[in-house]
Structure 1
Amino acid sequence: MTRVFDANATTGNSPFGDLPVWDLTHLYPAPDAPEVKRDLDWLEGACKDFAADYEGKLETLDGAGMLEAVERNEKIDMIAGRIMSFAGLRYYQKTTDPERAKFFSDCQEKITDYTAPLVFWSLELNRLEDDHIAGLFAASEGLARYKPVFDKLRAMKPYQLSDELERYEHDNSPVTGSAWNKLFDETMAALVFTVNGDELGIEAATTLLTEKDRAVREAAAREIARVLGENVQLTARIHNTLTKMGEIQDRWRGFPTPQTYRHLSNQVEPEVVEALRNAVVAAYPRLSHRYYQLKAKWLDLDILQVWDRNAPLPMEADRKIHWDEARETVLDAYAGFDPRMADLAQPFFTDGWIDAGVTPGKAPGAFAHPTVTDVHPYVMLNYLGKPRDVMTLAHELGHGVHQRLAAGQGEFLSSTPLTLAETASVFGEMLTFRKLLAQAKDQAERKVLLAGKVEDMINTVIRQIAFYDFEVKLHDARKGGELTPDQINAIWMSVQGESLGPAFEFMEGYETFWSYIPHFVHSPFYVYAYAFGDGLVNALYAAYEEGDPDFQEKYFDMLKAGGSKHHKELLAPFGLDASDPAFWDKGLGMIGGFIDELEAMEG
C-alpha cells in the first residue's frame, strides 16, 4: 500500500515559509488502501439493496418507514462523497498526473454505475401527492426535519424526464459534462507561460498582473493572451459543447431559461437575482467607472491598460507576506469577532487541512471543499505571498468554518445554496480587512487598504455580474448555432467594456481572457453567487456595526443552519430581506462610501 501524504507535511524552499500540504489520510490511507475497496464494495451492495427494498413501494411507506429510507440514502450519499472527495482532492493537487486522473475517473465511473439503481428515488417521490408528503411529515418529527430536502427535490418535479431518460442521463454523466470539465482542467493545468525567461503555470502567470513593475505586468498580460489565443479553438469547442448540452437539457426538461436550474438549486427566486443584476449594472458608472478613473490618476496614466486593473498603488509597500504572518492576521481577525471562530479555523493550519503551495500541475485558483460531514473540509490555495492571497486565505477559511458548523445538520442538510455559501467567506474577508484598516499607521496605509478593498469588491460584485451577463449572452447566442472563437470574444468584450468603463483601453488578445475562467465550465451561472454574498455580507456587517448584542449568536446560528433554511428565514433575525430591491443598494452603497473616502483623500 502506497501512503499518499504525510501528516503536517510542508512544501520546502518557499520564500513565504513552510507551506502546508494536505493530509488526505483523514479520508483514506492511500488509493490502493483496503478501505477504499471496502467502501466501494459496500456502496455497490447498499445501492442494490436500497432499490430492492424501496423501488415501486414509496407510496406504501408510513412516516417511520420513509425516515428509514431517507437515512439509508443519506448514508449512501456520505460514503460516495467520501470516495469522490478523496479522488478529487488528489486529482486537483496534480491534474497532470495520469495515475491520479485515472483513479479519479475510475471512482467516478464506478460510483455512477453503483448508484444507477437509485434513480427511481427522486422520480417516485415526485409522483407522490403533496397531501401525502405532508401527512408523512405530520406522522414523523424525524422525517419533518428533512422537509427542505423534499422541497428542493420537488421543485424539480415540473422538469423531470421519463424514468428511462433519467436513468440514461445518470449513466451517461461520466462521459458528458464531467468529461469536458476534466479536459478543461487538464488543458489549463498543462499550459506554460514564459515571462522574462521564467516558465510559469497559469496561476503564477496571472499573479504577475499584480506586480508593481508595469513592464512585468504588460509582459505577463501579453504572454497570457498569446497562450490563450493558441488554445482558443479548444476552449471554444469546450464552451460550444457544454452550452449546447445545456440547451438540449433545458429544452427536454422544459426549463424556461438556461439559468433556471441554477436558481432552483440555489433556492433563490429569479426576480431576486434579476434585482441584484440590475442594481449592480446600474451602479457601474458610480462604482467601477469612478474608481478606475481615480486609479488612473494615482498611476499617473491618461488611460489604463488591462494589465493595470489589479496593479498595486505607487505608495503600496512591495513586500511578500510570510505564511506565518498571513495565518496570524486571519486568525486574529477571526478571534476579534468571536474566539470560537478562530478555534474552528485553527485545525486547518495544524492538522493538514490546507494545501497552500504553487506546484506543477496543481489546479489554479482556490477553494474550500466540505468533503463529508463525518470528516472535515479541506482548503486549497495557490499562495504567492501577495496581500490578496491573505484575503483569499480569509475567504476560504470562512467557507471552512461555515462547513464545519453546518456539518451538524448531516449530509443532506449541511450543503448550503451557492448564494448563501459565500456568506461566511466574504464575512471572513471583511473581518480581516476591518482589522487591518483599524491598525493602519497613517493616511497612506489607510488609502492603500481602502483601495485594495474596493478592488476586491469590484472583482467580487461588478466583475462577477459582468461574467454572469457574458454567460447569459453566450447561451443565448449559442441557440443560433455554433459560435466561432471570434464571436465568443466579441461577447466577452461587450461586457468588459460596459463594466470597466471609459478609463480602459483593451490590448489585442484580451478578448480571449474568458477562456481560462473555470466557473463557466464547471458551474454555469454560479458567478452571481459572489455578488449575492458580497451584498448580503455588506448588509450583515452594517447590522454588526450597529451593535446588536446578540449578533454573534445569530451569525453562528445562521451558519449552523447549513441548507436547512431559506434565505428569508436566515436573514429575518437580522431584519434583512434579500427580496427587497433596496437591499442590494445598501450593499453597493458601502462600496460607494469607500470610493467617496478615497476621493476625499485627494483633497
Structure 2
Amino acid sequence: MTIKTAWNLSPLFSGLDDPKLAEVAKASTMTVEAFARKWQDRDDWLVNPTILKEVLDEYERLMHDQGHNSLAMYYLWLSSELNQGDTQIRAKLNQARHLAQNLTNKTQFFGLRLARVSTKIQTEFLQHPELKNYQHFLANVFATAPYLLSEAEEKILNLNSGVAYGNWIQMTESSLSKEEREIAGQKRGFAEITGLISSQDKKIHQEAVKAFDEFLAKKIDMAEAEINSVLEYKKIDDELRGTTRPDQLRHLEDDLETITVDTMLALVTDHFQLAHDFYQLKAKLLGQTKLAYHERTIPYGQIGRHYEFTEAVAIVEKTLLAVSPKLAEKFKNLLTNGQVDALPKTGKNGGAFCAHDLLSAPTYVFLNHTGEFKDVLTLAHEMGHALNNELMREKLNALDFGGPISTAEVASTLVELLVAEELEAGVDEETKLALLVSRLDDDIATIFRQVSAYHFEQSLHEDFRQTGFLSAQNIGQLFKQKMTDYLGPAVSFETQHEKWWIYWSHFRRYFYVYSYASGLLIAKALRNKLREDKNFIDKIIEILSAGSSLAPKDIFAHAGLDIGQPDFWQKGLAETSRDLATAVALAKKLGKI
C-alpha cells in the first residue's frame, strides 16, 4: 500500500485558480433558482403527498450533486485548514460562503413551510407509502416548527451568521495557528507544541508548556472578546426562537430527548470519584504527590516510544482486518487516495477531524501526527469517522447522509477501542500496566472531562445571561471550578491554567462535547457484544450505515441497546471502574505503588 500523507483535493478542484470554481457556483445558482421558481409560489405540495414526493426528489438531487455552492465551500474550507494565514484563500472562502448563504435563503422556504403544515397533514405525510424513504427527514423537519422564525427573519440570521459568529471563531483559531517556537532545537508550530505538552521528556514538556502558556497569554484579550460575542450570539438566537435552555436546540438537532442527555450527564457526574481515584493512582505511578494540570496527560511507562505514521497505519489496518475485511479495504482506500493529511506544519490548524460534505464529495481526514502513542489512537478515532461516512454513502439518500453528533462519535470511539485492545495483546505485565493506564487516561478524558466541559459550557451561558459580560478572569475561575470537579485533589490547577479554555474550540460549537462521553459508552457496549459474537460486526456495520434515516434511540435499539435507560450508562461506567481496579491491583503486584 502506497500511503499518501497529504490531501489530494483535485477530485474537488485543481487549485484556487481552477475555472471550475466559477462554473460550479454558476451551476449551483441555476439549479437552486430553478427549484425556487418551480415551487416557491405553489402550495399543492403542502397538502398532496404525491406532489411532495416530487419536491423531495428534486431537493434530494440538488443536495446530492451541488448543494448551496457546497463543493466550492468544502474545497476552500479544507484549503484554509491547511493554510490558516492565507488571505487569498480566506477571501475566496468568504465569497463562496456569501453565495452559499444567498442560495440557502432561496430554498429556505421549503423547510420553513413544510415544518408548519397542520398536525393532521404531518401524520398523513409520515404514514404515506410514497414518502417512506423520507419519513425520518420529515419527522425532523416537523420537530423544528416551534422554534422557527419567519422566512424574512431566518434569511437575515443566515446572512449575519458569519460576521456575528463564524468570523470570531476563525480569528482565534487562525491567530493561534500562526504561533511558532523553538523546542528542543527545532522550530515548531502551535499544533505540534500542543502535542509535546504530553512528552515524557521533561525538558521538552516544560518548554512546550512555557510556550503554550505564553501563546495563550498573548491571545487572552482577543479570546475574551470572542467568547463573549459567541455567547451573546447564542443568547439572542435562543431568545428569538423561544427556547427554555441553551442546549435545547443542540438536543433537537441531534435527534435526542433532553432527558436522555441529562440522565447520562448526571450519572457521569455522580461517578466523578472514579476520576479522582484514577489521578491519585497516576500521581503515585509517576512518583509524585500531585500532578500539575499540564502533567495529567503525560503517559506512564514505556509505551511512549515514537510511532512513525506508517507504523500507526499498519496497527489500525491489522485491527480492522481482524473484525471486517470490508472496513480494512475502505481504510486502505482513504490512505492511498490522498484523503488523509497526516503531518503538522506551520500555518496548518491544530487538532484532528474528519470532514464530509455532499454525498457525492470525498471524505477527508485531518491529523497532526507527531509520533506519540496517542497519535495512533487519534488515527483510529478519525478513521472511524471516515469509515462511518463511507458506510453511509453506500445506502442513504442525500437527505439522510451524515448522522447527528449523538451517533457520530460511536464509530470513532469503537475503532479506537479496538485498536487499544490490539496494542494491549500479548505484552508483558509492565507494558500491560502502561497500556491499561493509557486506556484509563482516555476513558477519563473522554467521559468525565467532556462532561465537566459540558457543565462549564452550561455555566458560561447561564452566567453570561445573568451578567451580560464575562471577563477572562471570570471565565478562568469558572473553568478551574469545573475542571477540578472531575480532577479531584490529586491534580493541582494553578493560575496559569485558568486561560487554557482559550484553545478548546468545542466551546464555540455549542454543547458538542457530551457526544464524546455518550459515544464512548455506547461504543463500549457494541464492543462487548462483538466480543461475545464476532458476527455482530454485521449489526455494527448496519448501525453505522443508518445515518439520519432513524432516530438514534431506534438505531441502537436494533442492536439491543436502550440508551434511554439509566442502567445502560451505568454499565459503561462500571466497566471503567473494573479497569481501574485491575490497574491498581497490577500496580501493587509489580511494586509500583
**Shorter-chain TM-score: which interval?**
over 0.9
Alignment partner of 1:575 is 2:564: no
Alignment partner of 1:400 is 2:386: yes
Alignment partner of 1:208 is 2:193: no
Deviation at 1:317, TM superposition (A): 4.4
SS state at 1:379 partner: strand
Match of 2:265 in 1: 277
Q: Map Cα deviations across residues 245-294 of structure 1 (whole Å, 9 max, x no partner).
A: 10111011001111011101111111111111111111111x21111111
Match of 1:71 in 2: 57
Which stretch shows the higher mean deviation, 264-273 or 38-47? 38-47
Match of 1:235 in 2: 223
Length, aligned pairs only: 581
Deviation at 1:318, TM superposition (A): 4.4
Amino acid at match of 2:15: A
User: Identity percentage over the alignment?
Assistant: 27
SS state at 1:515 partner: coil
Q: Map Cα deviations across residues 192-238 of structure 1 (whole Å, 9 max, x no partner).
A: 34545644322111111211123432332233122212211111111
Alignment partner of 1:161 is 2:145: no
Residue 590 and residue 332 in structure 1: after superposition, are their counterparts in 2 closer, same or farther (change >3 A)? same
Runs of 4+, deviation exceeding 6 Å = none
Q: Map Cα deviations across residues 172-193 of structure 1 (whole Å, 9 max, x no partner).
A: 2232212222212212212334
CA distance in 2, matches of 1:56, 1:137: 24
CA distance in 1, matches of 2:440, 2:127: 50
Q: What is the RMSD of the two structures over their aligned residues, measured on CA atoms?
A: 1.7
Which stretch shows the higher mean deviation, 364-373 or 216-225? 216-225
Amino acid at match of 2:252: L
Match of 1:473 in 2: 459
CA distance in 2, matches of 1:172, 1:507: 39
SS state at 1:25 partner: coil
Match of 2:503 in 1: 516
Give the TM-score normalised by structure 1: 0.93
Match of 2:473 in 1: 486
Deviation at 1:567, TM superposition (A): 1.7
Alignment partner of 1:112 is 2:91: no
Q: How does 1:173-184 map to 2 (within 5 A)?
A: 173-184=161-172
Contact 1:58/1:125 (8 A) holds in 2 = no
CA distance in 1, matches of 2:569, 2:212: 35
CA distance in 2, matches of 1:219, 1:284: 31
Match of 1:12 in 2: none
Deviation at 1:60, TM superposition (A): 4.3
Q: Map Cα deviations across residues 495-533 of structure 1 (whole Å, 9 max, x no partner).
A: 111111100112331000000011112x11000000010
Which of 347, 353, 372 aligns to 1:367? It is 353
Which stretch shows the higher mean deviation, 588-597 or 71-80? 71-80
Match of 2:529 in 1: 543
Match of 1:46 in 2: 31
Deviation at 1:19, TM superposition (A): 6.1
Which stretch shows the higher mean deviation, 128-137 or 577-586? 128-137
**Gapped runs of 5+ residues in structure 1?**
1-7, 9-17
Q: Map Cα deviations across residues 349-394 of structure 1 (whole Å, 9 max, x no partner).
A: 1110100010111111111112321232110000101110010000
SS state at 1:200 partner: strand
Alignment partner of 1:354 is 2:337: no
Contact 2:45/2:52 (8 A) holds in 1 = no
Q: How does 1:77-476 map to 2 (within 5 A)?
A: 77-78=63-64, 79=66, 80-141=69-130, 143-195=131-183, 198-285=186-273, 287-313=274-300, 315-407=301-393, 408-440=395-427, 442-476=428-462
Deviation at 1:484, TM superposition (A): 0.7
Contact 2:304/2:373 (8 A) holds in 1 = no
Contact 1:119/1:170 (8 A) holds in 2 = no
Alignment partner of 1:34 is 2:19: yes
CA distance in 1, matches of 2:292, 2:116: 57
Contact 1:193/1:227 (8 A) holds in 2 = no
Deviation at 1:558, TM superposition (A): 0.7
Contact 1:226/1:509 (8 A) holds in 2 = no
Which of 565, 568, 582 aligns to 1:597? It is 582
SS state at 2:368 partner: coil
Residue 595 and residue 546 in structure 1: after superposition, are their counterparts in 2 closer, same or farther (change >3 A)? same
SS state at 1:413 partner: coil
**Gapped runs of 5+ residues in structure 2?**
none
Match of 2:551 in 1: 566
Residue 204 and residue 64 in structure 1: after superposition, are their counterparts in 2 closer, same or farther (change >3 A)? same
CA distance in 1, matches of 2:242, 2:204: 50
Residue 58 and residue 316 in structure 1: after superposition, are their counterparts in 2 closer, same or farther (change >3 A)? farther
Match of 1:55 in 2: 40
CA distance in 2, matches of 1:599, 1:346: 38
Residue 145 and residue 260 in structure 1: after superposition, are their counterparts in 2 closer, same or farther (change >3 A)? same
CA distance in 1, matches of 2:310, 2:549: 36
Q: Map Cα deviations across residues 535-589 of structure 1 (whole Å, 9 max, x no partner).
A: 1111111222222x54111111111111111122111232211110111111111
CA distance in 1, matches of 2:102, 2:551: 33
Contact 1:217/1:307 (8 A) holds in 2 = no
